Amino acid sequence: MNAKRCLGGLALLLSMTLLSMTLLVLASVAWADPQAPPRAPAPPSPAVPQIGRAWPVGTRPTVLRGWEPPATPYARGHRGVDLAAPPGAPVRTVAAGRVSFAGRVAGRGVVSVELTATGEPPLRTTYEPVRASVRKGDEVAPGQAVGTVEPTGSHCPRTCVHWGLLSGRTYLDPLSLLPPWLRHTDPPRLLPVLGVPLP
């Protein structure tokens, strides 16, 4: 008798849940504005020209944290890459451009460079924490030092430079500025081993 009651109660609960879900779906369809145009898909990220001619720090620095694009503008993610660099190391611009900002933001030194011939609005790279050696309006060449790595203000386990890339308000992967020959090390080469018979 108790088993029948439990099964009956369970069946009633299941049918009420299905009915509630159906009503919610129907209500959302009914409340939708039939005159509203369909939502356009999000615009694709703009193409990034491979104009980089130097890494911001070092020759091929260790990437401590890569680019993790957020799902929405305010969602969690990592809007740049963190490159290992010792305090005082020179920070260089990756391509030619004009300094659009050199100052402090939230206690950290920041340098932003608008890259030459990259459209309207131009692509903009940012570097932080950096003690700036340039001023707003300065023209910079690829590989030119724009400052040095500040010893404090780092959000990495060790000292690093956060390198970002923006197109308007859209964050992009800054590593995409670097051509493959600059981004990767040479492929491994197999050399003959002397004294070992061939298979």
Contact 10, 2 (CB under 8 A): no
Q: Is the pLDDT of residue 150 over 60?
A: yes
Q: Which two tokens stand for residue 178?
A: 């670097």
d(CA 71, CA 145): 34
Using CB atoms within 10 Å of the CB of residue 50, give its burial: 0 to 12 exposed, 13 to 18 middle, 19+ buried.
middle
Contact 79, 164 (CB under 8 A): yes
d(CA 124, CA 172): 10
What one-letter code names the amino acid at 166?
L
What are the pLDDT digits (tens) for 42-62?
A: 444 567 888 999 999 988 899
Amino acid 73: pLDDT: 74
Amino acid 39: pLDDT: 41
134 confidence band (pLDDT: 50, 70, 90): very high
Candidate ranges 11-15, 41-45, 85-89, 178-182; pick with highest mean pLDDT: 85-89
Amino acid 34: pLDDT: 45
Contact 143, 53 (CB under 8 A): yes
Amino acid 189: pLDDT: 59
What are the pLDDT digits (tens) for 158-189?
A: 889 999 999 998 899 999 999 988 877 555 55
| Count of other CB atoms within 10 angstroms of residue 100 | 16
Amino acid 191: pLDDT: 60
* Strand residues in the chain grouped as ranges (E): 63-65, 81-84, 90-92, 97-105, 108-115, 123-128, 130-132, 139-140, 145-149, 160-167, 170-172
